[in-house]
Amino acid sequence: MISVWNGQSNDAITDCHAVVLCGGAGRRMGARKELLDFNGEPLLFRLCRSLSNIARQLTVVTDVKREYDFLPREVRVIADQVADFGPVAGICAGMAASSFPLQLVVACDYPLAGPQVWRALADTLALHPEADAVLPEVGGKLHPLCALYRSRTLATWQAALDGGNKRVMAATERMRIVSWVPEDGATNALMNMNTPEDYRLAKERLRL
């Protein structure tokens, strides 16, 4: 059963906007990831509710305009302006939908990430006013699709889109980045879910 949630949180950071990326077709998963069930709730609902703990506004970006009737009306849903371009196009569309200075970008295949991660990213960026973004780093791997960016990075994302460069890391390499390394016990929160086995494992870890 879907929990009661009205799309808002009193604890949200006033100037933070969350961009939820749902543009992937889920070919390896065999289903759309955002609709996968987690404890009786669609993953997208669960993720948006979690993000509302830090973001004052939420925008879901899809490959084509979709209706998610289970989301509160306060959650905006928009479509990519450039089809079949991947996350870069989704980030551009999502960031452009809000003038807030902080943009929390999260792909819908991070089922275990939550408020602890969002707050840590915000706290880290606050310590580095010169930085354009803070990216989680686990095992030497950066996670640009579960990261906090300043709105000024939209120009860099747009330049990548206009230049036909689909590589997310190519865009972030042009930014001033700081990394956030979670403590050992929090590394599961950055699990990336792409296959049915990943889905099974994510549900198992969620029960722990």
Residue 1 CA, distance from chain mean position: 24
Q: Is 203 annotated as a binding residue?
A: no
Question: Rg (Cα) of the chain, in Å, rounded?
Answer: 16
Q: Is 30 annotated as a binding residue?
A: no
Residue 82 CB-density burial (10 A; 0-12 exposed, 13-18 middle, 19+ buried): middle
Q: Where are the alpha helices (DSSP H) in the chain?
A: 43-51, 87-96, 115-126, 154-162, 168-172, 196-207
Q: Is 146 annotated as a binding residue?
A: no
Cα(125)–Cα(104) distance, integer angstroms: 11
Contact call for residues 7 and 20 (beta carbons, < 8 A)? no
Q: Is 109 annotated as a binding residue?
A: yes
- The structure tokens 């200075």 sit at 101
Q: Is 132 annotated as a binding residue?
A: no
Q: Is 16 annotated as a binding residue?
A: no
Cα(171)–Cα(43) distance, integer angstroms: 28
Torsion from C-alpha of 125, 126, 127, 132, nearest 10 degrees: 40
Binding-site entries: 21-23, 33, 80, 109
Q: Which residues does the annotation place in the binding site for Mg(2+)?
A: 109
**Binding site for GTP: which residues?**
21-23, 33, 80, 109
